[in-house]
Structure 1
Amino acid sequence: MTSAAAAPDHPGLLPGSLTGAVGATRRTTRDWVVDSLCFLLGLGWVLLATGDALSPDPKFAAPLPQPWMVPVDAVIGLVCCALLWVRRRWPLGLAVATLPLTIFSMAGAVPLLIIYFTVVVHRRTAVALAVTAGGLLTNFAFSYVRPDPELPYWVVTAWGAVLCLSALAWGMFVRARRQLVVSLRERAHRAEAEQQLRVEQARHLERTRIAREMHDVLAHRISLLSLHAGALEFRPDAPPHEIVRAAGVMRSSAHQALQDLREVIGVLRADTGAAAERSPAGTTPERPQPTLADLPALVEESRQAGMRVTVRNRVADPAATPAAIGRSTYRIVQEGLTNARKHAPGAAVTVTVEGAPGAGLAIEVRNRRPVGPPPEIPGAGTGLIGLAERTTLAGGRLEHGRTESGDYRLGAWLPWSA
């Protein structure tokens, strides 16, 4: 007798095609089946009740005051059966309009009970109780208008009340069950939406991390290119072997920069789902990240570019440094050397790394004030911001600026658990 599909017409109501806003909702196949069964059930009861009323045996007849009321009752029952097809649109209105008919109509009892059940399922509890109270009042009057030939008045009235309250209990159970199903469905949809949001956030964070790595790597290599190109520009008469060496460094740096850029752009353009399917672990394979053991190679690369770099590595076993701390240290030194090339070309740079498990790891990149104006090398100005974020996420701190002696100092401290 009920349907589960439609949108509620006011807050707190269960979705169903019997609500007031259902006019714009198309009946589903289940709705048509349920409506057809309700109509046939109501029509069968109309025929049975009309036959009983016309029966000459008083045991099966609940007589009406006037004989002409029998066909009238049959017509009322047929009209109520027809109303079952539109009860989804106006359940409460039909229940209120047909409530007076329950005083004397036996043929319309089943169709009217179906309409009442519809109200209980698809309207608030207060509304359902109000309609129930009206039905109980008309039930008292029905036993006077159409007394049963064998059963006493109070027995008939009690059976009518039991039937009405049973329909109320059943309808409220159906309504509560549907609300539970709707709540579980909404919870599942919300969980799915939250999962998609987490995936999007993970993608965004991964792309941000890749962009930060691209800045750290490309800024370092492009600054090397700019430094060597500037040297060739101002020293066209340099010895051939120096020109060859500078050209080799420029070619190598350009090749590495293009390779890094190609990898980053490939990751950014790759579809995450396809990458997850290709990777057994569900993640895109990455190239090995630098560690503290790679720091000498980074310094040597800067020395080949003409920088005067002094390294004081006081870590007993660089290879034993945790990967996350080593990677952060590498990026901090890389950014410090890049900034020194940009803003203090020719100045001596001192790199100090010291620490131990339990005491933490301290990094310092210090360079003297440049003698002349620094060259104009373009930059985004976000390198130190990225380093500060990286250091903060690692639980450390970052400092940078001029010292009292005029040197520029980039210092950081990273926690290193024992």
Structure 2
Amino acid sequence: MGKLKPEYQWLLPAALDSVAPKRRSTRDWVIDVICFVLGYGFTLLATIDLLRPHPTVVPEWEGAPAWLIWLDFAVGTVAALGLWWRRGRWLVPLAVFCTLVSLFAVAAGITCLIVLFTVAVHRRFAVMVVFAGGAMVTNAVFPLIRPEGERPYWETMAWGTVFIVIVCLWGMVVRSRRQLVLSLRDRAERAESEQQLRVAQARSLERNRIAREMHDVLAHRISLLSLHAGALEIRPDAAPQDVATAAGVIRASAHQALQDLREVIGVLRADGPEGAPEPPQPTLGALPALADESRSAGVKVRLDVRIEPTSVPDGTGRTAYRIVQEGLTNARKHAPGATVEVAVDGSAGDGLTIDIRNPWPIINPPVAIPGTGTGLIGLTERATLAGGRLKHGRTADNQFALTAWLPWPP
């Protein structure tokens, strides 16, 4: 049976009523053969016994004419043949037929019980109650039409009631078990589907995170390239040594940018090992190298890290590193030549604070470095996703301040 959405789970019991198997399995054939043999076999035995002058198996129904016995045999045969179609849409008509003939038929007794059991298994409780009630009524009328020798009326009706109740309860147990199996199977399939969806979502979120980090990385690298290229453009008469140094920095930055881009493209194209960290994954321990790289490009950086980088969780450290990296990139773009002060402080439980400041630019830079305009927006989103907050803007002492707070669990 296919998967059902949660809002349609209440239809599951009804689905058993309207959906019939398209093809019988080997088990179904075996059960149908057994039911037919039991039903029609009892019809033959009961007819033979009724035709005997002096029955020895069960007491005789005295006064039964021959035509009634042969009619009993005929309807028992029809009912037994109907057992082959009891699994489909003919079950209800067959049950109605068996209910009517059970008013007088003896030979169709076992067949009628099998049909009632099938109704209890394949139909809703309300439908089963209707046919069970009909069986109770015919069970009460039958001893009046065909009294059973010296056996009292109430005894005959009581035994019939016991058989009807047992068959109905047995069918309800079988139906409940089938519903439980279907429900557990559907729940397992849905859980597996949801697990696959969660894995796909986690992979997509991880790749988006990598792409966001690569924006920061490439913006940092390309800003270095643009800064040095601009310096060469505005100083064509620079000393050969300075030109060679700038060209070396440009070459190294371009090589590193291509290397980072190659790594992230490889990650986005192929799934990595389960649980393996995706490069690049720098943390607070890489801040000195980041500051040295900016200093080599001519940026004045004052780095003040007042905590032990290894004590900060990796996730918080990565977010802090990206904030500092974007802050230095923005300073190079909008305030070239200014001194950038970076302070990192905090403690476990109180959180991690990053403060980046540089003088507010007085004039426009001689060589404008293009940007996407979404760097600070991306940093704010990154800090918010990490459970922190970020502020930026001009201060009262004419400085541009970028301040972030990140949670640091105790």
Does TM, normalized by the shorter one, top 0.5? Answer: yes
Q: Which amino acid aligns with 2:44?
A: L
Aligned to 2:264, the other structure's residue is in SS state helix
Q: Which amino acid aligns with 2:356?
A: V
Aligned to 1:68, the other structure's residue is in SS state helix
Q: 2:394 aligns with which of 367, 389, 402?
A: 402
Q: CA deviation at 1:48?
A: 0.9
Aligned to 2:85, the other structure's residue is in SS state coil
**Deviation digits for residues 287-306 of structure 1, max 9, x if unmatched?**
57333332222112112222
Matched, 1:336 2:323: no
Mark the CA change 1:359 to 1:49 in structure 2 (over 3 Å): closer, same or farther.
closer
Mark the CA change 1:194 to 1:9 in structure 2 (over 3 Å): closer, same or farther.
closer
Aligned to 2:142, the other structure's residue is in SS state helix
For residues 187-226 of structure 1, what are the structure 2 equivalents within 5 Å?
A: 187-226=187-226
In structure 1, list runs of 5 or more residues that go unmatched.
277-281
Aligned to 1:120: 120
Mark the CA change 1:74 to 1:219 in structure 2 (over 3 Å): closer, same or farther.
same
Q: CA deviation at 1:238?
A: 2.0
Aligned to 2:61: 62
2-structure distance, mates of 1:5, 1:288 = 43
Q: Which amino acid aligns with 1:339?
A: N
Does the CA contact (< 8 Å) of 2:307 and 2:344 recur in 1?
A: no
* Equivalent pairs, count: 403
Identity of aligned residues (%): 56
Matched, 1:83 2:82: yes
Does the CA contact (< 8 Å) of 2:79 and 2:94 recur in 1?
A: no
For residues 207-356 of structure 1, what are the structure 2 equivalents within 5 Å?
A: 207-271=207-271, 275-276=272-273, 282-287=274-279, 289-307=281-299, 309-313=300-304, 315=306, 317-318=308-309, 320-356=311-347
Q: 1:27 aligns with which of 24, 28, 44?
A: 24
Aligned to 1:41: 38
Q: CA deviation at 1:224?
A: 0.8
In structure 2, list runs of 5 or more residues that go unmatched.
none
Does the CA contact (< 8 Å) of 1:87 and 1:94 recur in 2?
A: yes
Aligned to 1:373: 364
Q: Which moved more, 1:181-190 or 1:72-81?
A: 181-190
TM-score by length of 1: 0.87
Q: 1:364 aligns with which of 355, 378, 385?
A: 355
Q: Which amino acid aligns with 1:221?
A: R
Mark the CA change 1:376 to 1:63 in structure 2 (over 3 Å): closer, same or farther.
farther
2-structure distance, mates of 1:96, 1:187 = 36
Mark the CA change 1:158 to 1:325 in structure 2 (over 3 Å): closer, same or farther.
closer
Does the CA contact (< 8 Å) of 1:58 and 1:149 recur in 2?
A: no
Aligned to 1:56, the other structure's residue is in SS state coil
TM-score by length of 2: 0.88
Does the CA contact (< 8 Å) of 2:3 and 2:186 recur in 1?
A: no
1-structure distance, mates of 2:350, 2:144 = 96
Aligned to 1:350, the other structure's residue is in SS state strand
Q: CA RMSD in A?
A: 2.8
Aligned to 2:361, the other structure's residue is in SS state coil
2-structure distance, mates of 1:287, 1:145 = 89
Q: Which moved more, 1:394-403 or 1:129-138?
A: 394-403
2-structure distance, mates of 1:9, 1:49 = 46
Mark the CA change 1:261 to 1:53 in structure 2 (over 3 Å): closer, same or farther.
same
